[in-house]
Amino acid sequence: MTWTLVLVLAAAAYSFKVVGLIVIGRRQLPAPLERCLALIPAALIAALIVNGTFADGQDLVIDARAAGVAAAAVATWRRAPLIVVIVMGAAVTAAIRLLS
């Protein structure tokens, strides 16, 4: 992915938001749509994490990154502070890379 593509996608996302504000104006969206829109950022972040963890080009890989993400997920589930989650994920990934 190039920086040009990232900037184009960012501009497109921003323009979609602006067009939505212009079209909808001050009208309220239906409650089910509001709930769905609130879930979009979490879904996008999850998709980016999965793509970065399990993809290598067009190939599916399971390596040290997967173990690091799993360790970070467990730390998050146990309600560890954010810095602990990040350090734990990085440490597990580094340890597995060192051993393999």
Q: What is the pLDDT of residues 53-84, one digit of tens each?
A: 999 888 999 999 999 999 999 999 999 999 99
Q: How far apart are CA 89 and CA 68, in angstroms?
A: 4
Integer CA distances (angstroms), 70 to 13, 26, 87, 95, in order: 30, 43, 13, 14
For the chain, the domains span 1-59, 62-100
Integer CA distances (angstroms), 40 to 5, 48, 54, 81, 82, in order: 21, 12, 21, 24, 21
Please report which confidence band the pLDDT of residue 30 belongs to, taking 50, 70 and 90 as the band edges.
confident
- Higher-pLDDT residue of 85, 2: 85
CB neighbour list of residue 90: distance below 8 Å, 6 or more residues apart: 68
Residue type at 66 in one-letter notation: A
Per-residue pLDDT tens digits for 79-99:
999 999 999 999 999 999 999
Q: What ranges make up the beta strands (E) of the chain?
A: 55-56, 59-60
Q: How far apart are CA 70 and CA 40, in angstroms?
A: 22
